[in-house]
Chain A
Amino acid sequence: MTIEELIKNTESLPPAPEVLPKLIKIMKDPDTDSNDVVQLIATDPAITSGVLRLSNSGAYSPPSPVTDLNEAVAMLGIKEVYRIVNLVSSGDYLDGALPSMDIGKGSLWQHSLAVALIMDQIGKTHTDMEGLPYTLGLLHDIGKLGLHLGCGEEYVNVFKKVETERLSVCKAEEKTFGFDHAVAGSKMLEEWSFPDYVHQPIRYQYEPMNAPEEHRALAGALHVANWGAAVIGCNDGRDAWALEMVEGAFAIEQKELELGILRAQESLEKAKKALAVGAN
């Protein structure tokens, strides 16, 4: 199967998200105001319901119940509502189990949230769009879903290569399928009309040195944040540590990185309790 065949196989891949790519684009526009955000989210009843549910959860503990999107934006602000829409939208795709990769229900979403929270710590200074690192973290492994749904039956051959040839998972995927889950995810996101500043850092997360210059820093941050999520126990699946870490992929001091991971771990524990990630 080629990457094009995987992407075009709409019978196996889930439908494209409608709101999130548009929301990311309008959040990049400095003229966007709260009305634009509310109007867009309101077009999707499921996301609207998810935003209201999370706005009223223990994560935010509003003084009075939030009953509509305008109240949510007024109370939490556009930036926080943006993050909630990211979380709700990604959960639709990432909360299920991926048995071909030995990934349990809720685990990929939890891993993605951990990467998002580490990206918050280490990626913010590399973009002028505050929520972008968080978005990249949540979406960075969407390609695993594509591989599981499109060629999950053959995925056991990836593990065989990892375990007999001591390859990283992404190298073994490339050798088995001709592309890895980063490329698959990037293509899925491009097909779903996400902008290049989302799908390009994800495309190059395992080889940030080859990324176009404007995407290199965030690709490098993803490279490191993906490993950081493993450090805090959020990388379920067989051969989960078969990672190759590229020297100099991202400029950060060891102490700064480890403190960032510690802070992200605290945020993750709070989020898991409040949002019951994996329990849906």
Chain B
Amino acid sequence: MSGAPTLPSLFQQRVVVGVGDLAVSNNANVNISTFALGSCVGIIVYDAAVKVGGLIHIMLPDSTLSPDKAQKQPAMFADTGLPLMHRQLCGMRAERARMRAFVAGGASVISGSDMFKIGERNIVAVKKLIGTLGIRVVKADVGGVNNRTIHLNVGTGEVTLKTPLGTSKLSLA
């Protein structure tokens, strides 16, 4: 029977978060994923006590660029998206003191002006907001010249990080 799916894997569901989107869940069978984080930043927040997790894929740091867009798609921007995900997690009985976060993305070009360093500006904005919200960051894998893909297993709090150079795992539980 090698290669046959295990019983738990039959019930696993994948939720894919696109650019400028977020998802939260308390369903232990859900895996939340986002792909192609370049200069964008992905933030996974998890509360192990209630097995609630969320993932957001922000593209730009500051919603003042386009208030209309921020209203329609708040997860596009760090300053409107992160507080929204925090509220949604709290709505599922997660508590700030128990939340643990993983941050990934923020790739930047090798050389160029600040105008082209959106990745660095995203990282600065995310770190500031996470600090304001009082969430503990367990690990950050940011910068560099490669895209990243991240997954959260809501049932276990396990995070998987994939880049063209390899795969690594860590636990937010």
Report B-chain residues with C-beta under 8 Å of the C-beta of A262.
60, 65-66, 69, 76
Report A-chain residues with C-beta under 8 Å of the C-beta of B119.
241
CB–CB A254/B109 < 8 A: no
Tell me the interface secondary structure of chain B in the complex: loop
CB–CB A245/B66 < 8 A: no
A235: interface (CB < 8 Å): yes
B7: interface (CB < 8 Å): no
With A233-B19, A233-B37, A234-B36 given, is the CB distance from A258 to B60 under 8 Å?
yes
Our pick among B38, B109, B111, B164 for the contact of A233 (Cβ within 8 Å) is B38
CB–CB A231/B109 < 8 A: no
**Which of B87-95, B126-134, B140-148, B152-160 lines the interface with chain A?**
B140-148
Report B-chain residues with C-beta under 8 Å of the C-beta of A234.
36
CB–CB B164/A102 < 8 A: yes
Our pick among B18, B116, B146 for the contact of A227 (Cβ within 8 Å) is B116
Report A-chain residues with C-beta under 8 Å of the C-beta of B145.
162, 239-242
A255 to B59, CA, bound (A): 14
B25: interface (CB < 8 Å): no
Report B-chain residues with C-beta under 8 Å of the C-beta of A231.
38-40, 59, 118
With A233-B38, A236-B147 given, is the CB distance from A166 to B110 under 8 Å?
yes
With A166-B110, A240-B145, A265-B59 given, is the CB distance from A259 to B39 under 8 Å?
no
B112: interface (CB < 8 Å): yes
Report B-chain residues with C-beta under 8 Å of the C-beta of A258.
60, 65, 118
Closest Cβ–Cβ distance, residue B145 to chain A (whole Å): 4
A162, A167, A233, A237 pick with most chain B CB within 10 angstroms: A233
CB–CB B112/A240 < 8 A: no
CB–CB B111/A244 < 8 A: yes
Interface size class for chain B? 20 to 34
Closest 8 CB pairs of A and B: A245-B112, A238-B164, A241-B145, A233-B36, A241-B107, A245-B116, A243-B109, A242-B145
A149: interface (CB < 8 Å): no
CB–CB B19/A265 < 8 A: yes
Interface size class for chain A? 20 to 34
Q: Mark A54-95, 1 if CB is under 8 A from B, else 0.
A: 000000000000000000000000000000000000000000
A230: interface (CB < 8 Å): yes
A232: interface (CB < 8 Å): yes
A247: interface (CB < 8 Å): yes
A162, A240, A241, A258 pick with most chain B CB within 10 angstroms: A241
Report B-chain residues with C-beta under 8 Å of the C-beta of A259.
65-66
CB–CB A241/B146 < 8 A: yes
B165: interface (CB < 8 Å): yes
Taking CB atoms and an 8 Å cut-off, the chain B residues in 3-57 that contact chain A are 18-20, 35-40
Report A-chain residues with C-beta under 8 Å of the C-beta of B146.
238-241
B37, B110, B119 pick with most chain A CB within 10 angstroms: B110
Closest Cβ–Cβ distance, residue A237 to chain B (whole Å): 7
Our pick among B18, B19, B59, B113 for the contact of A245 (Cβ within 8 Å) is B113
A82 to B74, CA, bound (A): 35
B108: interface (CB < 8 Å): yes
Given contact pairs A240-B107, A243-B112, a sample of 12 additional A-B residue pairs in the complex whose CB atoms are under 8 Å apart: A162-B145, A230-B107, A233-B38, A234-B36, A236-B36, A240-B38, A241-B110, A241-B144, A241-B147, A244-B111, A255-B65, A262-B76
